[in-house]
Amino acid sequence: MKTLILGAAALALSAGLAIAQDKTIRMGTEGAYPPYNFINDAGEVDGFERELGDELCKRAELTCEWVKNDWDSIIPNLVSGNYDTIMAGMSITAERDEVIDFTQNYYPPTDSAYVAAADGVDVSSAIVAAQTATIQAGYIAESGATLVEFATPEETVAAVRNGEADAVFADRDYLVPLVEESNGELMFVGDPVPLGGGVGMGLRESDGELRDKFDAVISDMKADGTLNTMLKKWFGEDTTTY
Amino acid sequence: MSDCLQTIQDYGLRSLGFGERLLPREGFTFCEQATLIGSGMIWNIYFGVMALLTGFFLATALAVAKGSPNPWFRKPAEWFIFVFRGSPLFIQFFFAYFLFLSLKNVNPFFSPFTAAWLGALIVLFLNTAAYTGEIFYGALRSIPKGDTEAADAYGMSGWPRFKRIIWPTMLRLAWPAYTNEAIFLFHATTLVFFSGFPAWQQRGDALYYASYFADKTFNPFVPYPILAGYFILFTLVIVFVFGLIGKHLNRHLPQPERQRIRLRPNLIR
Amino acid sequence: MFSFCTDPDTLGTFRWFSCYLTTGVHMSFYIAFFKVLLLLAITAPVALGFGFVGAMAARSRVAPFRWLGKTYIALVRGVPDIAFFLFFVIALDQAFEYLRHKALCPDWDQPIRQGSDFVVCTAAKLPLSTAPQWMHETYGFFLAVITFAIVFGAFAANVLFGGMRAVPHAQLETAEAYGMSHRQTFWRILVPQMWVYALPGLSNLWMVLIKATPLLFLLGIEDIVYWARELGGTKTSRFTDYPHGDWRMWYFLFLLVFYLAFTRVSEIVLERLMLRLTLGQATSGGEAQRKAAA
């Protein structure tokens, strides 16, 4: 009898807790796209989006938890309900917006850029490497250059180093640290191309309430300048800010 | 319907670089998905058929070498089969691509090797040769003693003995397992662009286009089942064709014996 | 890990590597090996179970069962495993949640499919959204096991089906002559004897299963190939204390050695098993053993 009462009490307690703290928000990310998100030496999700996401959750008074998912299936798993948000350096595009909802952007529209191993590559007719199924790959396919697609961003840069491709086309922020540390082997060529509508947090279309919550705290962080500080911390002093 | 014919005209040979240059960017009708994924199947069939045809000969040589009493033949064959059967195809693709890249820098003769049509084909060729070699080796060991004794009694030896007695019997015994290997190989061709070699100008295999559509529509439940449908169809074709050849190989046996041979698949593979 | 690891830039080669190879990410890499082994250890018997049921259905005397069994074998064997993995896990997860939703929330009035969203009531979510991360991971692992088992179960069913048919007919006739029922013949005569015929096929399947583990990442499990790619990729000093170039080759070389060793060990074990199974069987192998002993 005693155990029964204890059990009932525990049940009541946990039910009360569940109402009080609401549910855990699961944040989906890729973990392979520094500085947006990556796995640090300790094996945890780290990066601009980790820091931003944690701060957003704190301000919105939500319990959040980070989950890694493969890029290819990151949207199907969101709509299927395996996690509740995507913060994975995902550019806001019209195609994606048809299937999921985005908050306002927390990173201004990004430049994509070409990097080559030699100066004077004509990017409009060269062989250009890009990651399969990215907006960059779509852009190159239309640009008239010869597109060669690799499964991971790592391989696209490797292709330029070993001469398979003349240039790689990717997010400028992904390329900057690589160019800096290549000792002059790699360099930016051509003009940067603005692609996409900035990076936003992706949510299910049926999750309007949660979206409004995050939207409000992003506005908050934009207004008090904390977002700009974070952007400068992760992307360097001369990055575009709000 | 006429829309669909137009789509087939535009995209039917897209995987080879003919027709529309740009892939569909919106709408994504069922017809477009089926056409492009079907177009990609050309590559799967190319890799499958070419690797099987070429691998067959190397496999026979490997099986004979592995069964040879001479260690100079036996050891290399054993190691070759062990390495290719013991590691995932995925890792083999990675190393092959890496190797071809470095060879290319040494000698321009190797530049076509980094393209999938040749480089991936070589990997698949070596891979299937190793698997088939092991199957054939198993079959060689289970050739009935009576057959070889009869050959000896007729005074056959060397090449004629191999060509007319051992080789046909080996094929006959190995055939069901070899059918399985053909199916596995055909399925393995989907890995070429998935994790092995880069796709140029959006010319890829069936899986490449299926994942393109899955990525654009965010709905994996249409393109992948289409892909699965194509593969089931072609797997049935393989089973049918190999069945015909198997029947031909066993044509000299009395009826009930033929039945029995069909039971052997699992003895070897 | 070690006390001297605080400032890796100043370390000598040996110490640098001893720090580098013991970082948290590398620990995840090592754990992934156990994950893969655990998954194989669980999947193999489950797949064998699926295969056994499939084979039994395929040779059933009841026509619908037979069709079901044969369709399962033909359908799953016809599809490349990779295509299966790309959509099957989500489908399976949605199917489970749909069933729970129907059972747990009968008075839910909103549609489950809202546009592209798949929405079930909170109580039907698997695992519950309040569940800790390890529950989610265990559930993902469970889905992966089921998916692997369904795929390889079809191949196993095919092998076992062949194995059952390969048992000499005389054995079954003898059983019948002794007055055994159909069921008795199946369990006492057919099943014990079929293993020796099925084992070569099953061991081959085991090898194929081992080599399919790199596909685990598609199922949401962080396996060794995922970590090898992740760790081997170029690292710049802004995001790690241990910057290095493209080291994927070394990591993959390590994996290659692991896989070769693993298959070699499996081969040896399976060979021994084959020897034991052949004992006392009416096959040429069993006959040879009998003669050797006599």
The verdict on B264 touching C (C-beta cutoff 8 Å) is yes
**Which residues on chain A are in Cβ contact (under 8 Å) with B26?**
95
- C281 shares contact with chain B (CB less than 8 Å): no
Whether C238 sits inside 8 A of A35 (CB atoms) is: yes
In a domain? residue C237: no
Q: Do C97 and A81 touch (CB under 8 A)?
A: yes
Domain-located, residue C48:
yes
**Contacting subunits of B (3+ beta carbon pairs below 8 A):** A, C
Mean pLDDT of B19-39: 87
Q: How many domains does chain A have?
A: 2
Least CB–CB distance from A141: residue in B22, B105, B208: B22
Residues 6+ apart with CB under 8 A from B244: none
Q: Write out the residue range of the structural domain in which residue A128 sits.
A: 111-195
Mean pLDDT of B206-232: 90
- With an 8 Å Cβ cutoff, is C71 touching chain B? no
Q: Three-state SS for C46? A: helix
Residue A98 domain flag: yes
Domain B30-268, classified CATH 3.65.10.10, yes or no: no
Q: Quote the CA–CA distance of C276 and C272 in Å, as a whole number.
A: 6
CB A88 within 8 A of CB A74: yes
Residues A74 and A185 in one domain: no
C281 against B137, higher pLDDT:
B137
Residue of B nearest to A151 (CA): B195
The CATH number of whichever domain residue C89 belongs to comes to 1.10.3720.10
Binned at pLDDT 50, 70 and 90, residue B256 comes out as low
User: Which pLDDT score, from 0 to 100, does residue C177 have?
Assistant: 92
DSSP state of A23: P
Q: Indicate the pLDDT class of residue B82, thresholds 50, 70 and 90.
A: very high
User: Count of domains in chain C?
Assistant: 1
Residue B83 CA to residue C264 CA, distance in Å, equals: 10
Shared domain check, A55 and A156: no
Tell me whether residues B219 and A149 touch, CB distance under 8 A: no
Residues in chain B within 8 Å Cβ distance of C201: 265-269
Q: Which residue has the higher pLDDT, A144 or C72?
A: C72
Dump pLDDT digits (tens) for A86-111: 999 888 888 888 889 999 999 988 78
pLDDT one-digit tens code per residue, A199-212: 999 999 888 899 99
pLDDT of residue C282: 60
Q: Are residues A189 and A207 both part of a single domain?
A: no
The CATH number linked to A172 is 3.40.190.10
**Per-residue pLDDT tens over the stretch C132-151:** 778 888 888 899 899 999 99
Range of the domain at C59: 29-231
Domain assignment of residue C242, yes or no: no
Q: Does A77 touch chain C (CB under 8 A)?
A: yes
Selection from B240, B182, B227, B232 nearest residue C71 by Cα: B232
Distance from CA of B71 to the nearest CA of A (A): 40
Q: CB A206 to CB C217 under 8 A?
A: no
A142 touches chain B (CB under 8 A): yes
A28 touches chain C (CB under 8 A): no
Indicate if A50 and A82 belong to the same structural domain: yes
Residues A71 and A190 in one domain: no
DSSP assignment string, B71-108: HHHHHHHHHHHHHHHHS-HHHHHHHHHHHHHHHHHH-G
Q: Are residues A74 and A143 in the same domain?
A: no
- Hey, is the C-beta of A75 within 8 angstroms of any chain B C-beta? yes
Residue-level pLDDT at B255: 60
Residue C282 falls inside a structural domain: no
The reply to whether A182 and A207 lie within a common domain is: no
Domain ranges of chain B: 30-268
Taking all residues of chain C, what is their mean pLDDT, rounded to a whole number?
85
Kindly determine whether residue C82 and residue B194, on different chains, have CB atoms separated by under 8 Å.
yes
Q: Are B135 and B269 in contact (CB under 8 A)?
A: yes
Assess if residue C176 is contained within a domain: yes
- Give the tens place of pLDDT for each residue, C219-257: 778 888 888 888 888 888 877 888 888 888 899 999 999
Is B225 within 8 Å of B36 (Cβ atoms)? no
For chain B, give the mean pLDDT: 86
Q: Domain check: are A69 and A171 in the same one?
A: no
The pLDDT assigned to A15 comes to 40
Of B83, B231, B263, Cβ closest to residue C79: B231
Residue C250 belongs to a domain:
no
